[in-house]
Amino acid sequence: MRISGSRPRSVVGLIGFPLGHTISPAFQQAAFDYHSLPTVYEAWQTPPDGLTAALGRVRQPDCLGMNVTIPHKEAILPLLDSVDEWARQIGAVNTVVNDGGRLHGHNTDATGFLRALREPGAFEVSGKRVVLVGAGGVARAVVLTLARECAASLAIANRSVARAEALAVLARSAGLPAEVIDISDESGLGAAIGAADLLVNATSVGMWHAAPGSPVAAAHLHDRLFVHDLIYNPVETVLLREAERAGARTLNGLSMLVFQGAAAFELWTSRRAPVGLMMARAVDALARAQAESGEGDG
Protein backbone atom coordinates (compact mmCIF):
# COMPACT_ATOMS: atom_id res chain seq x y z
CA MET A 1 0.00 0.00 0.00
CA ARG A 2 1.37 3.43 -0.88
CA ILE A 3 1.22 6.43 1.42
CA SER A 4 -2.13 8.05 0.77
CA GLY A 5 -2.06 10.92 -1.74
CA SER A 6 1.68 10.68 -2.41
CA ARG A 7 3.51 9.49 -5.48
CA PRO A 8 6.34 7.01 -5.09
CA ARG A 9 9.67 8.82 -5.12
CA SER A 10 11.81 5.76 -5.51
CA VAL A 11 11.70 2.31 -6.99
CA VAL A 12 13.36 -1.09 -6.57
CA GLY A 13 13.15 -3.67 -9.35
CA LEU A 14 13.32 -7.44 -9.60
CA ILE A 15 14.79 -8.72 -12.87
CA GLY A 16 14.52 -12.29 -14.09
CA PHE A 17 13.04 -14.36 -16.89
CA PRO A 18 10.48 -15.72 -16.69
CA LEU A 19 9.26 -14.22 -13.42
CA GLY A 20 5.95 -16.10 -13.27
CA HIS A 21 3.89 -15.32 -10.18
CA THR A 22 6.80 -13.92 -8.16
CA ILE A 23 6.01 -13.40 -4.48
CA SER A 24 8.97 -11.05 -3.79
CA PRO A 25 7.00 -7.84 -4.56
CA ALA A 26 4.40 -8.74 -1.91
CA PHE A 27 6.82 -9.17 0.99
CA GLN A 28 9.28 -6.46 -0.09
CA GLN A 29 6.50 -3.88 -0.49
CA ALA A 30 5.29 -4.75 3.01
CA ALA A 31 8.73 -3.80 4.36
CA PHE A 32 8.83 -0.43 2.53
CA ASP A 33 5.30 0.34 3.73
CA TYR A 34 6.15 -0.69 7.30
CA HIS A 35 8.86 2.01 7.36
CA SER A 36 6.57 4.49 5.49
CA LEU A 37 9.13 4.71 2.70
CA PRO A 38 7.78 6.13 -0.59
CA THR A 39 9.23 3.26 -2.59
CA VAL A 40 7.59 0.77 -4.91
CA TYR A 41 9.03 -2.69 -5.53
CA GLU A 42 8.30 -3.79 -9.09
CA ALA A 43 8.82 -7.00 -11.07
CA TRP A 44 10.62 -6.19 -14.32
CA GLN A 45 10.45 -9.25 -16.55
CA THR A 46 13.83 -9.06 -18.31
CA PRO A 47 14.92 -11.52 -21.01
CA PRO A 48 18.68 -12.10 -21.40
CA ASP A 49 19.03 -9.41 -24.11
CA GLY A 50 17.34 -6.86 -21.83
CA LEU A 51 19.99 -6.89 -19.09
CA THR A 52 21.91 -3.82 -20.30
CA ALA A 53 18.72 -1.74 -20.51
CA ALA A 54 17.72 -2.84 -17.00
CA LEU A 55 21.11 -1.71 -15.67
CA GLY A 56 20.56 1.70 -17.29
CA ARG A 57 17.24 1.96 -15.44
CA VAL A 58 18.79 1.02 -12.11
CA ARG A 59 21.44 3.77 -12.43
CA GLN A 60 18.70 6.44 -12.47
CA PRO A 61 18.57 8.61 -9.30
CA ASP A 62 15.08 7.38 -8.32
CA CYS A 63 16.14 3.71 -8.22
CA LEU A 64 17.55 2.29 -4.96
CA GLY A 65 18.63 -0.93 -6.62
CA MET A 66 17.26 -4.30 -7.63
CA ASN A 67 17.04 -7.99 -6.98
CA VAL A 68 18.40 -10.32 -9.62
CA THR A 69 17.22 -13.84 -10.34
CA ILE A 70 17.64 -16.50 -13.03
CA PRO A 71 19.07 -16.12 -15.72
CA HIS A 72 20.99 -12.95 -14.81
CA LYS A 73 22.71 -13.81 -11.51
CA GLU A 74 26.06 -14.75 -13.09
CA ALA A 75 25.91 -12.66 -16.29
CA ILE A 76 25.51 -9.42 -14.35
CA LEU A 77 28.87 -9.62 -12.51
CA PRO A 78 31.13 -8.02 -15.15
CA LEU A 79 28.57 -5.27 -15.83
CA LEU A 80 28.62 -3.84 -12.28
CA ASP A 81 30.95 -1.16 -10.88
CA SER A 82 31.87 -3.35 -7.92
CA VAL A 83 31.00 -6.77 -6.50
CA ASP A 84 31.58 -7.63 -2.85
CA GLU A 85 34.03 -10.39 -2.01
CA TRP A 86 31.37 -12.86 -0.91
CA ALA A 87 29.32 -12.50 -4.14
CA ARG A 88 32.54 -12.76 -6.18
CA GLN A 89 33.44 -16.05 -4.46
CA ILE A 90 29.93 -17.41 -5.01
CA GLY A 91 30.07 -16.17 -8.61
CA ALA A 92 26.54 -14.78 -8.49
CA VAL A 93 24.81 -11.51 -7.57
CA ASN A 94 21.20 -11.41 -6.37
CA THR A 95 21.13 -7.83 -5.02
CA VAL A 96 22.31 -4.58 -6.62
CA VAL A 97 22.56 -1.27 -4.75
CA ASN A 98 22.57 2.03 -6.69
CA ASP A 99 24.96 4.41 -4.94
CA GLY A 100 24.76 7.68 -6.88
CA GLY A 101 24.85 5.96 -10.27
CA ARG A 102 27.46 3.39 -9.30
CA LEU A 103 26.12 -0.16 -9.04
CA HIS A 104 27.37 -2.49 -6.31
CA GLY A 105 26.62 -6.23 -6.37
CA HIS A 106 25.94 -8.47 -3.36
CA ASN A 107 24.74 -12.02 -2.74
CA THR A 108 22.27 -12.45 0.11
CA ASP A 109 21.32 -16.09 -0.67
CA ALA A 110 24.03 -17.32 1.71
CA THR A 111 22.79 -15.03 4.49
CA GLY A 112 19.24 -16.25 3.87
CA PHE A 113 20.27 -19.92 3.92
CA LEU A 114 22.21 -19.59 7.17
CA ARG A 115 19.68 -17.44 8.99
CA ALA A 116 16.86 -19.84 8.04
CA LEU A 117 18.82 -22.77 9.44
CA ARG A 118 19.67 -20.86 12.63
CA GLU A 119 16.39 -19.13 13.45
CA PRO A 120 13.33 -21.19 12.49
CA GLY A 121 15.57 -24.28 12.11
CA ALA A 122 17.50 -23.84 15.39
CA PHE A 123 20.32 -25.78 13.66
CA GLU A 124 24.04 -24.95 13.96
CA VAL A 125 26.26 -26.02 11.06
CA SER A 126 29.56 -26.08 12.94
CA GLY A 127 30.96 -29.61 13.24
CA LYS A 128 28.07 -31.21 11.32
CA ARG A 129 28.23 -33.78 8.50
CA VAL A 130 26.27 -32.55 5.51
CA VAL A 131 24.83 -34.11 2.36
CA LEU A 132 23.95 -31.65 -0.40
CA VAL A 133 21.87 -32.84 -3.33
CA GLY A 134 22.20 -30.49 -6.29
CA ALA A 135 25.12 -28.57 -7.74
CA GLY A 136 23.50 -25.67 -9.60
CA GLY A 137 23.60 -21.92 -8.96
CA VAL A 138 22.30 -21.81 -5.38
CA ALA A 139 24.46 -24.78 -4.34
CA ARG A 140 27.62 -22.61 -4.61
CA ALA A 141 26.26 -20.23 -1.97
CA VAL A 142 25.34 -23.22 0.23
CA VAL A 143 28.80 -24.81 -0.08
CA LEU A 144 30.70 -21.62 0.74
CA THR A 145 28.41 -21.00 3.73
CA LEU A 146 28.98 -24.53 5.03
CA ALA A 147 32.74 -24.01 4.68
CA ARG A 148 32.67 -20.62 6.41
CA GLU A 149 30.55 -22.03 9.25
CA CYS A 150 32.99 -24.94 9.76
CA ALA A 151 30.84 -27.94 8.81
CA ALA A 152 32.81 -31.15 9.46
CA SER A 153 32.33 -32.74 6.04
CA LEU A 154 30.30 -32.54 2.85
CA ALA A 155 29.01 -35.13 0.37
CA ILE A 156 27.63 -33.68 -2.85
CA ALA A 157 25.19 -35.76 -4.92
CA ASN A 158 24.13 -34.53 -8.33
CA ARG A 159 22.78 -35.85 -11.60
CA SER A 160 25.67 -34.26 -13.50
CA VAL A 161 28.71 -35.65 -11.65
CA ALA A 162 31.07 -33.18 -13.35
CA ARG A 163 29.13 -30.29 -11.81
CA ALA A 164 29.33 -31.92 -8.37
CA GLU A 165 33.10 -32.43 -8.84
CA ALA A 166 33.57 -28.74 -9.59
CA LEU A 167 31.64 -27.84 -6.46
CA ALA A 168 33.70 -30.28 -4.37
CA VAL A 169 36.86 -28.55 -5.61
CA LEU A 170 35.38 -25.23 -4.46
CA ALA A 171 34.49 -26.72 -1.04
CA ARG A 172 37.99 -28.16 -0.53
CA SER A 173 39.60 -24.88 -1.58
CA ALA A 174 37.53 -23.24 1.17
CA GLY A 175 38.77 -25.81 3.72
CA LEU A 176 35.74 -28.13 3.77
CA PRO A 177 36.48 -31.86 3.16
CA ALA A 178 34.16 -32.90 0.31
CA GLU A 179 33.33 -36.06 -1.62
CA VAL A 180 31.12 -36.61 -4.66
CA ILE A 181 28.34 -39.16 -5.08
CA ASP A 182 26.46 -39.94 -8.28
CA ILE A 183 22.82 -39.30 -7.38
CA SER A 184 21.89 -42.66 -8.93
CA ASP A 185 24.33 -44.52 -6.63
CA GLU A 186 21.70 -45.57 -4.07
CA SER A 187 24.07 -47.40 -1.72
CA GLY A 188 26.60 -44.54 -1.69
CA LEU A 189 23.88 -41.95 -1.15
CA GLY A 190 22.19 -44.07 1.53
CA ALA A 191 25.47 -44.50 3.44
CA ALA A 192 26.25 -40.76 3.27
CA ILE A 193 22.76 -39.76 4.44
CA GLY A 194 22.84 -42.43 7.13
CA ALA A 195 25.93 -40.78 8.62
CA ALA A 196 24.76 -37.19 8.08
CA ASP A 197 23.31 -34.56 10.42
CA LEU A 198 22.03 -32.23 7.68
CA LEU A 199 20.53 -32.93 4.25
CA VAL A 200 20.06 -29.96 1.91
CA ASN A 201 18.03 -30.23 -1.29
CA ALA A 202 19.32 -27.72 -3.84
CA THR A 203 17.85 -29.50 -6.86
CA SER A 204 14.61 -28.48 -8.49
CA VAL A 205 13.21 -32.00 -7.98
CA GLY A 206 9.91 -31.62 -6.14
CA MET A 207 9.37 -28.02 -7.26
CA TRP A 208 6.04 -27.02 -8.73
CA HIS A 209 6.04 -27.59 -12.51
CA ALA A 210 9.55 -29.14 -12.37
CA ALA A 211 10.61 -32.78 -11.91
CA PRO A 212 8.11 -34.51 -9.58
CA GLY A 213 8.94 -36.65 -6.55
CA SER A 214 11.94 -36.51 -4.23
CA PRO A 215 15.68 -36.47 -5.08
CA VAL A 216 16.30 -38.95 -2.25
CA ALA A 217 14.71 -42.35 -1.49
CA ALA A 218 12.53 -42.29 1.63
CA ALA A 219 14.42 -45.33 2.98
CA HIS A 220 17.58 -43.20 3.44
CA LEU A 221 15.90 -40.69 5.79
CA HIS A 222 16.17 -41.01 9.57
CA ASP A 223 15.30 -39.30 12.82
CA ARG A 224 18.80 -37.86 13.53
CA LEU A 225 18.60 -35.80 10.35
CA PHE A 226 17.71 -32.17 9.76
CA VAL A 227 16.32 -31.76 6.22
CA HIS A 228 16.42 -28.31 4.62
CA ASP A 229 14.61 -28.30 1.27
CA LEU A 230 15.38 -25.00 -0.49
CA ILE A 231 12.15 -25.35 -2.48
CA TYR A 232 9.25 -23.26 -1.17
CA ASN A 233 6.64 -23.93 -3.83
CA PRO A 234 5.06 -26.21 -2.74
CA VAL A 235 5.76 -25.49 0.93
CA GLU A 236 5.64 -29.20 1.67
CA THR A 237 7.58 -31.21 -0.89
CA VAL A 238 7.56 -34.99 -1.16
CA LEU A 239 11.04 -34.96 0.44
CA LEU A 240 9.83 -32.96 3.45
CA ARG A 241 6.76 -35.14 3.87
CA GLU A 242 8.86 -38.31 3.82
CA ALA A 243 11.46 -36.76 6.14
CA GLU A 244 8.76 -35.90 8.68
CA ARG A 245 7.46 -39.46 8.47
CA ALA A 246 10.99 -40.70 9.22
CA GLY A 247 11.11 -38.47 12.32
CA ALA A 248 13.56 -35.91 10.88
CA ARG A 249 13.35 -32.19 11.63
CA THR A 250 12.46 -30.23 8.50
CA LEU A 251 12.51 -26.73 6.99
CA ASN A 252 11.25 -25.54 3.61
CA GLY A 253 12.78 -22.77 1.47
CA LEU A 254 10.36 -19.98 2.36
CA SER A 255 12.43 -18.74 5.32
CA MET A 256 15.55 -18.58 3.15
CA LEU A 257 13.65 -16.62 0.50
CA VAL A 258 12.37 -14.10 3.04
CA PHE A 259 15.72 -13.78 4.86
CA GLN A 260 17.63 -13.19 1.60
CA GLY A 261 15.02 -10.55 0.78
CA ALA A 262 15.33 -9.00 4.24
CA ALA A 263 19.11 -8.71 3.84
CA ALA A 264 18.59 -7.03 0.44
CA PHE A 265 16.05 -4.60 1.96
CA GLU A 266 18.60 -3.62 4.61
CA LEU A 267 21.25 -2.99 1.93
CA TRP A 268 18.91 -0.66 -0.03
CA THR A 269 17.50 1.24 2.93
CA SER A 270 19.83 0.85 5.95
CA ARG A 271 16.64 0.10 7.93
CA ARG A 272 15.89 -3.05 9.87
CA ALA A 273 13.72 -5.43 7.84
CA PRO A 274 10.44 -6.42 9.54
CA VAL A 275 10.97 -10.13 8.92
CA GLY A 276 7.85 -11.37 10.74
CA LEU A 277 5.64 -9.16 8.59
CA MET A 278 7.57 -10.10 5.44
CA MET A 279 7.12 -13.79 6.23
CA ALA A 280 3.38 -13.40 6.78
CA ARG A 281 3.02 -11.56 3.45
CA ALA A 282 5.12 -14.20 1.70
CA VAL A 283 2.87 -16.99 3.00
CA ASP A 284 -0.26 -15.12 1.83
CA ALA A 285 1.23 -14.30 -1.58
CA LEU A 286 2.34 -17.88 -2.11
CA ALA A 287 -1.12 -19.19 -1.28
CA ARG A 288 -2.58 -16.70 -3.79
CA ALA A 289 -0.04 -17.58 -6.50
CA GLN A 290 -0.70 -21.29 -6.01
CA ALA A 291 -4.44 -20.76 -6.19
CA GLU A 292 -4.08 -18.74 -9.42
CA SER A 293 -1.59 -20.85 -11.35
CA GLY A 294 0.73 -22.78 -9.10
CA GLU A 295 3.92 -20.91 -9.98
CA GLY A 296 6.45 -18.95 -7.93
CA ASP A 297 9.96 -17.52 -8.04
CA GLY A 298 13.27 -18.69 -6.64
Which chain residues interact with ligand NAP by CB under 6 A? Answer: 70, 109, 112, 134-139, 158-160, 163, 202-205, 207, 211, 215, 230-232, 253, 256-257, 260, 298
Identity of the residue, 221 or 264, whose beta carbon is nearer to ligand NAP in the bound complex: 264
Task: Find out whether 45 and 16 touch, Cβ atoms under 8 Å.
Answer: yes
Output the smallest distance, CB 81 to ligand NAP, in A.
25
Query: How is the beta sheet containing 198-201 ordered, strand by strand?
Result: 178-182, 153-158, 129-133, 198-201, 226-229, 249-251
Whether omega for the bond prior to residue 61 falls within 30 degrees of 0, making it cis, is no
Identity of the residue, 37 or 154, whose beta carbon is nearer to ligand NAP in the bound complex: 154
Output the smallest distance, CB 38 to ligand NAP, in A.
27
Rounded to whole angstroms, the Cα distance separating 246 from 218 reads: 8
Q: How far is CA 21 from CA 8, 24, 156, 282, 285, in A?
A: 23, 9, 31, 12, 9
Of the candidates 21, 73, 140, 220, the residue annotated as catalytic is 73
Output the smallest distance, CB 245 to ligand NAP, in A.
21
Q: What is the rounded (10 degree) CA torsion for 229, 283, 210, 225?
A: 10
Identity of the residue, 70 or 277, whose beta carbon is nearer to ligand NAP in the bound complex: 70
Reduced to 3 states (helix: H, G, I; strand: E, B; else coil), residue 185 is coil
Identity of the residue, 65 or 206, whose beta carbon is nearer to ligand NAP in the bound complex: 206
Rounded to whole angstroms, the Cα distance separating 218 from 221 reads: 6
Residue nearest to ligand NAP according to CB distances in the complex:
136
Task: Find out whether 226 and 199 touch, Cβ atoms under 8 Å.
Answer: yes
128 annotated active-site:
no
Output the smallest distance, CB 21 to ligand NAP, in A.
13
Which positions are catalytic?
A: 73
